[in-house]
């Protein structure tokens, strides 16, 4: 397969290979390029996006399954977002000054998420989580721990990354915290209590350590896990209410994707704070938290800087709530709200693609773990169907998933490497049929 890929890429992607070589001289890392867990000899450099497709710098047209890791729920170059961006670009991008669109967006977000009273703007999902944790620590000033679930990703801040990636430690039922990468202060790791999502022991750990817990942070549905564990979320909600521990849902990916009001709307479980990002920026950088006033008010100034220092959390961000991100985000959110059929369409398309991919593996007798739900997918090859993140991590054949991703490109599909994949409203049934055909042909090539 390596020989095939080397030949295919050198023939079809000379500009991308040259750009990658150039990039090595100036660019250490960005989201797609050479992150330490999957350095790629087969780079993608995009020239432009159109609907469900990306056109790369060599003119290859690929059906895109990344959706930019989430924001592009309407597809690339969608008129709704583009027109909003063009209009506001002409008036300059107002930031660090008040404007009406920021208030409109705050009202839209608060209205979308049941039980939330107020919003705080930021520039990314990572920043949303930072804001959320700081507010919760202000609410519970004597508490030492943030509780988080093993394998749940909450952006790249020190604490958010604890036990979120490829390194795990301790028992499955009772994990030990481990730094997400080098450069993480040990005290941040020590101040994190890691539990296993949807495991009964996690509830005991929270109860046993209640006085020391500033908040419980989790993805209410891990992107690509395919299903919502409603009972577990309800149990967590009850426990956190009983113990007065803020429950924080990270809906950076799922907010406005699984449903307009996120997982919490589908599950009927209301957290105290919700972290948002991705779709709410309409393709531009944006993040926000929404939540209950008794916590979010702790970010509002008292009007006295000395009192603020004693009582309030500082929530920063020069570009937070900037004019263009608000305009693009508002336009997309209004479009989603006015067109609920988009969500039904995504559900139908997800079912179609799931069924075809599952059948493709079954017919070939392959041990494939495909999870799919609400326009989000993940695929791995494993001999044992995993119950928890720990088992999924330990059992998966990452080389096979990587090979699949690279091979798919030679069939006109961009499937992100070692990452869940997503579809958008712009994907047609024909596009998905093409993806499924490509998948079958790649499985045959890998099998051979």
Closest approach of ligand PLP to the CB of residue 153, in Å: 5
Which residue, 221 or 443, has its beta carbon nearer to ligand PLP? 221
Which residue, 58 or 271, has its beta carbon nearer to ligand PLP? 271
Q: Supply 336's token pair.
A: 């989603």
Q: Does 250 bind ligand PLP (CB under 6 A)?
A: yes
Selected binder of ligand PLP within 20, 137, 148, 154 (CB under 6 A): 154
Which of these segments, 106-114, 119-127, 130-138, 298-306, binds ligand PLP (CB under 6 A)?
A: 119-127
Which of these segments, 46-54, 87-95, 150-158, 186-194, binds ligand PLP (CB under 6 A)?
A: 150-158
Selected binder of ligand PLP within 81, 119, 233, 253 (CB under 6 A): 253
**Helix (H) / strand (E) containing 330:** helix 323-338
Selected binder of ligand PLP within 72, 78, 126, 320 (CB under 6 A): 126
Selected binder of ligand PLP within 252, 263, 423, 438 (CB under 6 A): 252
Contacts within 8 Å (CB) and 24+ apart, 81-88: 81/282, 81/283, 81/328, 81/331, 81/332, 83/331, 84/282, 84/327, 84/328, 84/330, 84/331, 84/332, 85/282, 85/283, 85/284, 85/324, 85/327, 85/328, 87/327, 88/323, 88/324, 88/327, 88/328
Which of these segments, 227-235, 247-255, 308-316, 358-366, binds ligand PLP (CB under 6 A)?
A: 247-255
Closest approach of ligand PLP to the CB of residue 388, in Å: 18
Which residue, 124 or 350, has its beta carbon nearer to ligand PLP? 124
Name the closest residue to ligand PLP (Cβ): 125
Q: How far apart are CA 180 and CA 158, in angstroms?
A: 8
Per-residue b or e along 283-297, where b marks 16 or more CB atoms closer than 10 Å to that residue's CB: bbbbbbbbbbeebbe
Selected binder of ligand PLP within 49, 68, 75, 125 (CB under 6 A): 125
Q: How far apart are CA 345 and CA 350, in angstroms?
A: 8
Backbone dihedral region of 411: left (phi > 0), alpha (psi from -120 to 50 degrees) or beta? alpha
Residue for token digits 């469900």? Answer: 52
Which residue, 102 or 219, has its beta carbon nearer to ligand PLP? 219
Closest approach of ligand PLP to the CB of residue 69, in Å: 5
Closest approach of ligand PLP to the CB of residue 155, in Å: 3
> Which residues ranging from 306 to 325 are in contact with ligand PLP (CB under 6 A)?
none
Q: Supply 258's token pair.
A: 């699984």
Which of these segments, 152-160, 334-342, 357-365, 432-440, binds ligand PLP (CB under 6 A)?
A: 152-160
Q: How far apart are CA 215 and CA 231, in angstroms?
A: 20
Closest approach of ligand PLP to the CB of residue 379, in Å: 17
> Which residues ranging from 47 to 106 are in contact with ligand PLP (CB under 6 A)?
69
**Helix (H) / strand (E) containing 396:** none
Which of these segments, 151-159, 224-232, 339-347, 353-361, binds ligand PLP (CB under 6 A)?
A: 151-159
How many C-alpha atoms does 189 have within 13 Å on its Cβ side?
17
The percent of the chain in helix, strand and coil, each rounded to the nearest 5, is 45, 15, 40
Q: How far apart are CA 349 and CA 344, in angstroms?
A: 9
Q: Report the candidate in 10, 82, 72, 250 with the shortest Cα–Cα distance to residue 151.
A: 250
Residues that bind ligand PLP (CB under 6 A): 69, 124-126, 129, 153-155, 219, 223, 250, 252-253, 277
């Amino acid at each position: 397969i390596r020989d095939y890929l080397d030949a295919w890429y050198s023939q079809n992607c000379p500009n991308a290979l040259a750009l990658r070589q150039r990039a090595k001289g100036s660019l250490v890392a960005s989201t797609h390029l050479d992150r330490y867990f999957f350095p790629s000899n087969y780079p993608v450099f995009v020239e432009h996006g159109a609907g469900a497709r990306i056109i790369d710098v060599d003119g290859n047209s690929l059906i895109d399954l990344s959706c930019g890791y989430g924001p592009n729920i309407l597809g690339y170059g969608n008129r709704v977002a583009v027109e909003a961006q063009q209009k506001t670009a002409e008036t300059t991008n107002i930031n660090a000054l008040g404007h009406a669109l920021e208030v409109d967006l705050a009202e839209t977000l608060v209205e979308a998420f049941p039980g939330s009273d107020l919003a705080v703007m930021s520039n990314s999902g990572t920043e949303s989580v930072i804001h959320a944790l700081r507010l919760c620590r202000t609410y519970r000033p004597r508490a030492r721990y943030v509780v988080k679930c093993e394998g749940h990703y909450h952006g790249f801040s020190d604490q958010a990354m604890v036990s979120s990636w490829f390194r795990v430690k301790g028992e499955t039922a009772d994990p030990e915290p481990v730094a997400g990468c080098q450069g993480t202060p040990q005290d941040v790791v020590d101040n994190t209590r890691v539990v296993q999502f949807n495991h009964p022991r996690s509830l005991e750990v929270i109860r046993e350590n209640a006085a020391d817990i500033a908040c419980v942070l989790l993805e209410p549905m891990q992107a690509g896990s395919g299903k919502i564990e409603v009972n577990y979320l309800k149990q967590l909600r009850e426990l956190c209410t009983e113990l007065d521990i803020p429950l924080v849902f990270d809906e950076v990916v799922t907010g406005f994707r699984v449903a307009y009001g996120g997982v919490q709307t589908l599950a009927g479980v209301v957290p105290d704070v919700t972290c948002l990002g991705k779709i709410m920026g309409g393709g531009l950088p944006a993040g926000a938290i929404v939540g209950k006033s008794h916590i979010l008010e702790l970010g509002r100034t008292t009007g006295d800087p000395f009192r603020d220092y004693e009582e309030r959390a500082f929530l920063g961000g020069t570009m937070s709530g900037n004019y263009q991100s608000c305009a693009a985000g508002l336009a997309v959110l209004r479009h989603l709200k006015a067109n609920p059929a988009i969500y039904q369409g995504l559900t139908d398309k997800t079912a179609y693609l799931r069924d075809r991919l599952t059948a493709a593996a079954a017919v070939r007798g392959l041990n494939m773990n495909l999870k799919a739900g609400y326009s989000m997918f993940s695929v791995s090859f494993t001999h044992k169907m995993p119950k928890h993140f720990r088992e999924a991590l330990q059992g998966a054949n990452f080389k096979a998933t990587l090979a699949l991703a690279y091979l798919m490109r030679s069939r006109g599909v961009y499937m992100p490497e070692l990452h869940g994949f997503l579809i958008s409203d712009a994907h047609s049934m024909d596009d998905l049929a093409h993806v499924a055909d490509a998948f079958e042909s790649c499985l045959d090539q890998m099998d051979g």
